[in-house]
Structures are given as structure tokens and as C-alpha cells.
Structure 1
Amino acid sequence: MKNKNTLKQQWINYSKSQRIGLLLLVILMVLLQSVYFFGDFSSQNKNIAEKDNWLQKQGEIDSLKMTSANQKPVIYPFNPNFITDFKGYKLGMSTAEIDRLLAYRKQNKFVNSAEEFQKVTKVSDSLLKTISPYFKFPDWVNNKNKSTFNSDSKNFSKKEEVKKLVDINLASQEDLMKVYGIGEGLSKRILEQREKLGAFVSMEQMKLIWGLSPEVVEKLNQSFIIKSKPTIKKLRINDLSVKELSQFPYFRYNLAKEIVTYRSMNGDIKIEDLSKIKGFPVENINIIALYLEF
């Protein structure tokens, strides 16, 4: 009781400002205790965890970048007659070597072997050795370059097998229907495509005919071949209208429109410009270009 009276007396003896200060101090202590007990300090830990996670992912990204930098670009088979400036640069050709090839092609001439490619472009033996395994010429070129059998050859069965191959450009509907998997409908579709194109220039075109499965295409390649360079009426890509271009089997209306648009903005189209046209089927450019007149 005495302590209580003493505290009361001391409180009375304090000035007004001292009493206010003590009251504010007590309130501040209560607030600090409340924050300590009820405050959420998990956000700081969360930020630290997120930072650790980010650093871990950044390490994975850096590792992938190093792996990607060490990987060599994949080279797919291509027809060297249609090498563009960019393609030639990626292959390691000099500007002069690319220009020699383009000048040769402007004369509407084609290289048909690795040796002829080197003769025209004058590339080094080392570069030719690196890129020539990826050269892919049309079937009729490969067949022309194949050595014929000697009359004294002992492999008689192979000679008979070659004789059985039928030129796809001379095949009848009955010939096509002898292939397992090809009925009346598919054989008719193949003949209609041949008629629209004038002739096939490569057996690779069988893959572009709708409805032919990879298995059937393989069987066609076992029974048919392109024996000689066909004579075809070429499409004047720089003269024809959208409607006329769209009638070509490999050009739909939208692509024909893009061709005319590119032509109107850049002038006459050249072979090396085909890959620059929006929507152009670049994977088949070596086949389609054989049907075009520039």
C-alpha cells in the first residue's frame, strides 16, 4: 500500500510534459512487443529462398549456353546449284566463290558433280572435302553418273533388277497399281500430278503427293526411276499473274500472291530470291526451281 502511494506521489510530482513522455514510452513499448509477437518475418526468408532458386536456374542457363556454343551446326543434304549468299557464308565459302557460282547459274547452267562444283567456284580441296558429302543432286543426274555394267559382269541378278525398273514418266495406271498399297485412286492421283507438272524430275516428288504413305513411297522407289532428263514446260515466274501461278501444283493462292507481291517490290525474281519469299516451301526448293524460268 505504501509502494502504491509512493508511486502515486511520484506521478503527481512529475510535470505534465514528463507524464506525457512516460505515457508515450509505455505505448511505444507495447507496440514493439505486439510487432514482435504478431509480425510476419517470413517475407525476408522467402526473398532469400527465391534468390537462391534464381541463382540455381541461372547456373543451369549458363551451362546450356556453354553446351550450345560447343555444338556444331547440323548440315542437311542440299543441291549445291541453289546455294544462296547466306548459305554459302555458313558453309565457309568466300564472297568470290559464291559469286562465281551465281554467275554460272545466271547462264541457266547446272553443276552435276562435286568436281564440277569445284571447277566453277574454285573452292579449296579441304572445303570441298567437308561439304561435298552433303551434296544432293536430282535422281536423273545420279543415274547418269552411275557406271554401267560390263558385259562380262558376273552379277546377272542386279542387271535384271535394273531392267525391271520403269521410268515413272512413262508408267501407266496398270504399272502403278502393281505396287502394293496403290489402288485406282492413288494411281490416278499420281498420273494427274504428272500431267499438271509435265513430268517428274525426281522420285522425291512422290513424298509431296497427298495420300502416299512413307511405306508406299519406298515401294515406288523400288519399282520406278527417272531414267532420263525430262522435257518440261517451265513456269515464267516473273511474268505470270497470281491466278496463273496458283494453278501450278506447288503454289497455292496465298503463295502465288506472296510471289507477285515480292516481285512488285523487288523486281524480277532470281533463284536465290525464292527462299526470301514468305511461305515458300524451302525444303523442296531444289525440285520446284527446276520447273521455273527466271
Structure 2
Amino acid sequence: MKPLRKTVTALFGFNRRERRGTYVLSLVLIVLLAVRLTAFRTGRLPEEIPPLPSAGPSSAGVIEPVAAPFTFDPNTVTYEDLLKLGLSARQARTLINYRNSGARFRNPPDLARVYGIDSATVARLLPHINISDSYRTPPGEPSAGRPAGDGVNGRRIVVPAGRGGAGAEQGGFIREPVAGYDLSVNMDLNSCTAEELEKLPGIGPVLSVRIIRYRSLLGGFVDKGQLAEVYGLDSVVVATITALLSVTLDSVRPLVLDSASFGELARHPYLGYEAARRITRYRSVAPSALTLGEMVRSGVITAEQAERIAPYVRPSREASGSDYEFISSKVLK
């Protein structure tokens, strides 16, 4: 019995020094609890709350009237003037950044394209917007910058001189020639740098970097129309610079479904995290080589995703089929 008592005492007992420390710690905790219950006790609320003192004429509670709007051009207005017009600092910065990216306001309603400026603010400022002639679509030209038989905010499509002739219609737009750009050497969209892209009309430093980053995520452009997917790139600018660009497929990065890592699949703009998760899970149980058609039929990805990713997919040697990557792949070599 004594050996058992010694073992229990050794495991759970306290020596004299440990007991002394335990007493001191308990005393400190009791003192802290007493202070908390007495010093920080919430007082009783009065039965009647006295009214706030009335604000005098010079009190800060008086709302100062907003300065009356004045005529301005969103293509040239300064940050300070935007604040005077009643825009918040964030809205003013967003408009300036939007303008610095190469975008232009062709008509007063184009102000609504700026992210963060609500419709009420646009309606308030619309009567005071005056677009200068250098930016505005000239009146009396019903087809200038508009789709044939339609109207799109009166925007003008401008192309370099020498492509299609004056007034040539491409993609449903009447396109007007502008001199100053040499079409003899087209810029390769898959090998150009951000600095070279800035030489294109409507492309600033912000948009040029976005194009390069999006090209890296895609693995290369397979069609010039993919520029319309770049965030902030206006369709007018895309239609303008298309004639100055070419696409070579030698540098396009192929995507092999059977060996691509989860990260490679998830980073691709046409797939994303969820599709990558389903593909890797399906790949672990698939009885044969992966094909887009088989994954669509199994519900792993949608037909739209398959059509978009097909140009980048290189089928494995064991795979066979007659749809998607087998007819649309640009990286078969």
C-alpha cells in the first residue's frame, strides 16, 4: 500500500514550494476578480436622459450645402474638380484610373461605365457633361462608331489607314481610317511586351500589364477576340487594335489533361478551382485517357467550358474522339 501511496503522491502531490505558489496565485486571482466586480461595474441609467444641447447657427451639426455642379469634360476633369462635383475620393480615383488605362468618354452616358459611380450620381451630373469635339462622335454621322442598323452609345470605331478602306464595315461596325499606324508589320500578341502594347491606340500602362498577365494565365492567345475578356478593355479599343495584331501559335502552352497538375488546371481562366477539383477527382477513377467529350458526358465540366478550353488541350496518344480538342486544338504539334 505504501508504494502505491508514494506513486500517487509523486504524480499528483505538491511539495512545500509548489503549495506556496498555488496559494499566492489563488490570492492574486481573487483580488483581480474583486477589482473587476467593483471598479468596472456598470452604473444605473438615469430614468430620464437629458436632451442634447441645441445646435447653434455655427454648429457642426448644420449640413453645408453641396456646391452647385458645373460644366465639365470627364476626359480632362481634374481630381480636385471631381471632388467639388460631389464625388467621393474613391469615385474620383476610380474615374482617373479608368481614364489613365486608355478609356475615353465619347458621350455623356459613358460616365455610367465607371465602376463605383451609381446611377443617381450619373443622373445628377449628366446635364453638366460637355464632351469636347476631339472625343465626341460627330453629330450627323449615324453610322460612325455604331453597329449597322443599331446604336451603341455613339461610340466610334477607329482603325489605321490602309485596312479595308474608308467606311469599310467589319464585324457589324462602320470603321473609319486613321493615319499614323503602319500595317506592314503586325504586332504578335503572344510575343509582344507591355511597352510595345502601349504604342497601340487606346492602350495605356495599366491595360498593357493586364493583357500580359491574362496571356500568362491562358498560356497564350489563340484568337485576337480573347482580348475582349481582359478586364477594363473596352470593346471599341479591341475593335480598333485588332487590325494591328497577329497571333502565332508556336508559343501557346499546351494543356495535357492526364498529367496537368491541380494548380495548372485551377489557374486557367476557363476552368477555375471547382472544375480543377472535379477533373482531378474524375482522373483518379477514369478507366482510360481523359477527353473533354467524356468529361462533358459525365458531368465533370460543362459543354461551354469544354469548347473554351479545347484549343489549349493536347490529347494524349491513348485518347481518341471526334469532338472538342480533336477538332479545335491549336497545340497538336
Give TM class, smaller chain. Answer: 0.3 to 0.5
- Whose relative contact order is higher, 1 or 2, with alpha carbons under 8 Å and at least 6 apart? 1
Name the TM-score, length of structure 1 as normaliser: 0.39
Bigger Rg over Cα: 1
